[in-house]
Structure 1
């Protein structure tokens, strides 16, 4: 190329047409050989030397190829000859003597190589062990990740379920409140009807007897003028009493005192209206959850959902304080089941026999079996429900519907209260506010009954000497009615404090009404019978102390009346009744007064009565 450029200088491009080489252009094999040849033959011309070098290179390549072929043949022939030589071992050949140092060195070398190989194998083995461990860990992580996915799904499902449950209850609570109010209003109307009728009848009958007394005093000729309303009421009173007498005669109950009946009969028309209204309410009551799945209205199914949560994830269950939330969730459902529950009826179902009560008990029992936490909120589910749901409903019955003059209502109410409060004491160490409110309402209602419903008129002895006279009958009826209330008050023994019962029964009722009526009566067997009945209603635990020689202070007026009656009877034809009075004094632990009376009247044959105590 250089030669060509020198021979033809005119063919060179102009300066602006020249390419500036920034990098050397790669050379071909011929160019490199030519360049090498050029360096060796510097004396010759460039053009002739290039051709000569080309020829020389070709000849060299040919010679190399011939030599390589010949050498390969020679190696193959020599190798085969050597193999044949080795194969034909000549035993006559002698070997140099064995050098132990060389053998030892070779063995050490071989051992070192084997140890290195063993170490490399150990490293590979350890690597494989690590790979197995990492694989197992990866599998475990994958399994855990799948379990976490299931856990998340469970929590999501539970969240959706609780939200739907709350929405359902929020929607139904309005209907529940309306039906509760309707049933409460119906029972309240019935209770107010009985109360107003009793007070009206008492008022009209007392007015009639007063008019009758004034007529007898003035000795006016002619019949007593009575308005139509009073006449109608008196006829209704006598009609109901006649029906009760006939019913008692059929049942064989002849030992009955007028005034101890509840007098809660309804006319056929009123009974029909009441039953129809009650039936309509109960129909609406059954329709409340008829469009709701059992998982959202059945208490057992709801508790089963939370039980699954508690069994699968107890930590999150207790951290969420589900035990405090369950009573609020179950409150509307329990109220629905209590709409037809009347604790004043003698045949009403006890709470322990209700399905919701047994379901909650089972839920709590399983909680105490599964959980070792002593402060578990599940233990207070039942007590919370009783405090927040049952006791308020019971308190409403006491304040607005309960009639303390009715022995059947009082007995049934005491049975339910005793069971509820005993159940509450099992789960609670302290007295709850609900229990205090219930007991206060009971005391308040009995005070109101004593003030409004107890009326024992005092007539002249001339008017009551004849036991068949209207005045005597009315006075007897009212006395036994007050004595019935006295008994109903003292039936609360064990539920109400002793000092409260003594204040109500003895202070407000016995001393203020009954004892005064006894003072106004003529001494005789009837009076003793009444005193025996009063003593029978007194709680025995008030007189259990063996060291007690004097009775409780609230009985002082009653004791004085007994001593006065015994004094009068001892000088009359009813001397045998004195022993009964002494027995009464002994029973109420008025032993000092009994001893004094026996010594005063020299009744030595009665000392044995006291000595037996």
Structure 2
């Protein structure tokens, strides 16, 4: 019989039933196998039938009675193996010493035999580790399936299910009603610190909603421990030091706690992870593998190396090392060379930075100075241009006075030769003087006599003090007669002197020497620019900029200069020599030869083209050049040669000079022809003893004009058709006058004019009635 141990419960527990010991018999292995093979539905039906047939009986008891008069006992259910292995049933010598010695020999008392097959089955059915926690998603269909382990447990328990009795169910219902009714009985421990009745329920206790203003405390007070709301801020110096030391101590304690390792805690954690099947690496570390001795392997036998392969191998290694050494040496040399290049490049870059800064500062100063020069020129240039215009007007007025006097003399001579042109009385309104009085018209005959007397006096005045050889045998009319009366000449000289004085007064308020003399200002700055930064100077056309700025001082110096009357050449001005020296910088070697031109070229020619030639052409067109004067023609040829040498014969500025001179000749010839036309049309000559002298004066003046034109053509060539102008003058002016007195000097004058013409132009002269042949 198997021993049963019973325990007496001190207090009944509702819902617990005593186990029935009717099925306390041991199950054989065959029955267990059959139970395992049955389906879950069959097993559940068996369990329900057993529960209906059997009622729980109190098999265990401690001899005491329940407090309620109704005692319930429970029975300790043992497993099949524990019931079979009871104490004192089997002697110690029954079990084999080893599992290998187990046999299937049956025992007389019916106890199981520990053979090899049974132990292997037992070992296979025993779970060594806990089942891993499943992380799969819950499935309702899978939850309805019966696990095999549950069936094993139900099978081990004998298929009994504890069903509570009617009395325990009633007692539980009564106790639940008492608790619901709010009775004093309370057999559980509440998790809340205070009771609901001790806490204020607010204005609406029947509602479970709590308003924000009905809460007892604020968030800062409730969570003050975690939000540091109760901490005090240290304001004093000493309190701040204490707070800093406390904070440092706390940080050191936290660092020490983090560094400290509790081996027992770590071992416990690893063990728990190993039991749960979550840390295989920790398990392997916790249980190190047992070291097993392994003998060292015996190396395989090798042949003894020969000498020749070893030598060849060493030679190959030596060649490889030699090649590697050579490559490393070349790489080191290249790196050293590259480093030297980088050092040189660094030095060069530093020098470039220094030069760039110096260049920036110099150009900043240069720009400031140029701005001051521009301001100066903006103020002074209008004054200079006003004086130049005044000088041109004076020259033009003088030329008009001389042209009017010559025209009046020619009209007097033509009226004597061809007859006077009748004057109409209704030719125009009456002339008034400054006071509004009517100016009486003079008698033409009387005026002619006055002009003739004035011409004779001028001629005698010009020839006074000169010998016959100096005056020559030139008849009257051949001389230029471009002098002004004494009063007009005095006014002309005073006007020129006033213009020159006003030109000097332009710089009277200037005290800086660099604005007085361009050599100290312009030449200094532009020369330094050319010397220090030649590339920038050449690329920016610095020489032309210098010429543009220097133009003011050049025009100021030639103000009041008459190129025809003055004896000064262009190279005698100070600006000419200054620009000449600037254009040819000295090389510092002390050569006796003339220095070569700089990168700017000849700036003198640029200045002549820019400032001198336009001024020169304006003065020529204003009447400075007298086409009847041989002296003026010689002077013009000299000036034209200087300009040609400076700018070149093909320069358009030189062509402007030639065109200006040609326009003066053209205007003079056209004016003479226009003056002759009405007299030729009238052609009613009268007998006048003075007609021969008048004709000679007209032809002599025309001969003088033709002579100057031919001389100019000899220098300038047949540009602008100067030869055609000469032929036109002879055919349309000289021959009509000569025909009126052909036998009394007209033929001789025509022959003289044809004689001075070039051979290629004589064929174009129209001979009257074949007389010229």
TM-score per shorter chain, which class? 0.5 to 0.7
Unaligned runs of at least 5 residues, structure 2: 1-245, 257-334, 423-442, 590-595
2:367 corresponding residue in structure 1: 159
Equivalent of 1:381 in 581, 603, 616: 603
Shift of 1:488: 1.1
1:378 and 1:424 mapped to 2: Cα distance?
Answer: 15
2:667 corresponding residue in structure 1: 448
Where does 1:513-528 land on structure 2 (aligned, <5 Å)? 513-522=733-742
Q: Report which stretch shifted further, 127-136 or 138-147.
A: 127-136
1:276 corresponding residue in structure 2: 494
1:41 corresponding residue in structure 2: none
User: Is the counterpart of residue 474 in structure 1 residue 697 in structure 2?
Assistant: no
Calculate the aligned-residue CA RMSD, in Å: 4.3
Where does 1:304-343 land on structure 2 (aligned, <5 Å)? 304-343=524-563
Alignment partner of 1:492: what SS?
helix
Q: Report which stretch shifted further, 257-266 or 491-500.
A: 491-500
Higher Cα Rg, which structure: 2
1:562 corresponding residue in structure 2: 772
Does the Cα contact within 8 Å between 2:702 and 2:734 map onto a contact in 1?
yes
Equivalent of 2:568 in 349, 357, 362: 349
TM-score, normalised relative to structure 1: 0.58
Does the Cα contact within 8 Å between 1:519 and 1:561 map onto a contact in 2?
no
Shift of 1:256: 1.3
Alignment partner of 2:626: what SS?
coil
Does the Cα contact within 8 Å between 1:521 and 1:527 map onto a contact in 2?
yes
Alignment partner of 2:547: what SS?
helix
User: Is the counterpart of residue 191 in structure 1 residue 191 in structure 2?
Assistant: no
The size of the alignment, in residue pairs, is 414
Where does 1:110-259 land on structure 2 (aligned, <5 Å)? 146-207=354-415, 228-249=446-467, 252-259=470-477
Provide closer, same or farther for how the CA distance between residues 182 and 473 of structure 1 changes in structure 2, counting only shifts above 3 A. Answer: same
1:262 and 1:21 mapped to 2: Cα distance?
Answer: 125
2:534 and 2:250 mapped to 1: Cα distance?
Answer: 83
User: Is the counterpart of residue 504 in structure 1 residue 714 in structure 2?
Assistant: no
Shift of 1:484: 0.5
1:21 and 1:243 mapped to 2: Cα distance?
Answer: 130
2:456 and 2:254 mapped to 1: Cα distance?
Answer: 142
Does the Cα contact within 8 Å between 1:322 and 1:377 map onto a contact in 2?
no
1:424 corresponding residue in structure 2: 647
Shift of 1:136: 9.1
Does the Cα contact within 8 Å between 1:201 and 1:233 map onto a contact in 2?
yes
1:202 and 1:440 mapped to 2: Cα distance?
Answer: 27
TM-score, normalised relative to structure 2: 0.47
Equivalent of 1:390 in 593, 600, 612: 612
Shift of 1:141: 6.7
2:387 and 2:342 mapped to 1: Cα distance?
Answer: 66
Alignment partner of 1:237: what SS?
helix
Q: Report which stretch shifted further, 389-398 or 436-445.
A: 436-445
1:200 and 1:519 mapped to 2: Cα distance?
Answer: 22
Does the Cα contact within 8 Å between 1:515 and 1:561 map onto a contact in 2?
no
Shift of 1:144: 5.9
Does the Cα contact within 8 Å between 2:409 and 2:451 map onto a contact in 1?
yes
Shift of 1:237: 2.3
1:287 corresponding residue in structure 2: 505
1:143 and 1:210 mapped to 2: Cα distance?
Answer: 91
1:486 corresponding residue in structure 2: 706
Provide closer, same or farther for how the CA distance between residues 560 and 298 of structure 1 changes in structure 2, counting only shifts above 3 A. Answer: farther
| 1:177-203 Cα deviation digits (max 9, x unpaired) | 111112111111111111112223333
Does the Cα contact within 8 Å between 1:399 and 1:445 map onto a contact in 2?
yes
Does the Cα contact within 8 Å between 1:343 and 1:394 map onto a contact in 2?
yes
Shift of 1:474: 0.7
Provide closer, same or farther for how the CA distance between residues 331 and 279 of structure 1 changes in structure 2, counting only shifts above 3 A. Answer: same
Shift of 1:176: 0.4
2:514 and 2:251 mapped to 1: Cα distance?
Answer: 87
